[in-house]
């Protein structure tokens, strides 16, 4: 069973603060990791993906991957009310020929003005 | 098209009714995925097509679920004899190819409610 675990939240942060979203996974064969943002009633949209240990930065977003600890996180700097959404962690693992995404349940983030 | 298009956006079906959900992927995208998202949950994989070939249907929950993509473009997910537990949002996603680092683009989904 390949599992992706996320704290369902809600996670509340004040505007301008750093939001930290965490995800752990069970399958060491997992190769690529994706963060999707999903607004209520909308489809998931990709924020960024990471496949190498370390940090990857894109604007206000930083993804961090630690394969030894089977842990991936997303930091959102200078959080804005428009960042309020559910954040889905997903992975792809080698051995799945279809390269489908395996998702966590998502963490609901609320940025308070 | 500009993005992945799904229709209908909303569908209410009486228990036992058959339904068909349509997905029109981004033009030229080889890979097409169907996911099921229950309320408060993350999407769960149902099936995968590479062009017209259905290469993985391991996520289909029962033999009441059937998917096709006969010409390698538009796909249809059919659910026969719908049950209340089938109520969910059905998401279609497409990508240019299949690899570990390829982005999948999602459609807006079809919200199915079985009453």
Which positions in chain B touch A97 (Cβ < 8 Å)?
55-56, 98
Tell me, rounded to whole angstroms, the distance of Cα A36 from its chain centroid.
Answer: 6
Q: Indicate whether B104 pLDDT > 70.
A: yes
For all residues of chain B together, what is the average pLDDT? 94
Reading the block at residue A67, the tokens are 């394969």
What mean pLDDT do residues B96-104 have?
A: 79
pLDDT at residue A96, rounded to an integer: 59
pLDDT at residue B99, rounded to an integer: 75
B14-56 per-position pLDDT tens digit: 999 999 999 999 999 999 999 999 999 999 999 999 999 999 9
In this prediction, residue B101 has a pLDDT band, given cuts at 50, 70 and 90, of confident
Nearest to A105 among B42, B98, B109 (CB): B42
| Secondary element (H or E) of residue A5 | strand A4-6
Whether chain A has a CB inside 8 Å of the CB on B25: the answer is no
pLDDT at residue A53, rounded to an integer: 94
Q: CB–CB of A98 and B100 under 8 A?
A: no
Q: Helix/strand/coil (H, E, C) string of chain B?
A: CCCCEEECCEEEECCCCCEEEEEECCCCCCEEEEEEECCCCCCEEEEEEECCEEEECCCCCCCCEEEECCCCCCEEEEECCCCHHHCEEEEEEEECCCCCCCCCEECCCEEEEEC
Nearest to B45 among A51, A102, A104 (CB): A102
pLDDT at residue B80, rounded to an integer: 98
Nearest to B43 among A42, A49, A103 (CB): A103
pLDDT at residue B57, rounded to an integer: 93
pLDDT at residue B103, rounded to an integer: 85
Please tell me which residue of chain A has the smallest CA distance to B6: A43
Which positions in chain B touch A101 (Cβ < 8 Å)?
33, 35, 43, 45, 93, 104
Question: If you count residue pairs, one on A and one on B, with CB atoms under 8 Å apart, how many are there?
Answer: 65
């Amino acid at each position: 069973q390949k599992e992706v675990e996320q704290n369902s939240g809600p996670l509340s942060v004040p505007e301008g603060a750093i939001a930290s979203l965490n995800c752990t996974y069970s399958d060491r064969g997992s190769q690529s990791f994706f963060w999707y943002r999903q607004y209520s009633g909308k489809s998931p949209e990709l924020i960024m993906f990471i496949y190498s240990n370390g940090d990857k930065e894109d604007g206000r977003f930083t993804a961090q991957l630690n394969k030894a600890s089977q842990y991936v996180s997303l930091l959102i700097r200078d959080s804005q009310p428009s960042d309020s959404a559910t954040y889905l962690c997903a992975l792809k693992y080698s051995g799945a020929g279809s390269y489908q995404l395996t998702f966590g349940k998502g963490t609901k983030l609320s940025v308070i003005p | 098209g500009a993005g992945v298009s799904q229709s209908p956006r909303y569908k209410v079906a009486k228990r036992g009714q058959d339904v068909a959900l349509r997905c029109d992927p981004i033009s030229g995208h080889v890979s097409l995925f169907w996911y099921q998202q229950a309320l408060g949950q993350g999407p769960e994989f149902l099936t995968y097509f590479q062009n017209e070939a259905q290469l993985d249907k391991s996520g289909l929950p029962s033999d009441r679920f059937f998917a096709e993509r006969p010409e390698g473009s538009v796909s249809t997910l059919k659910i026969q004899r719908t049950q209340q537990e089938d109520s969910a949002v059905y998401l279609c996603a497409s990508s240019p190819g299949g690899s570990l680092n390829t982005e999948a683009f999602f459609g807006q989904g079809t919200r199915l409610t079985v009453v």
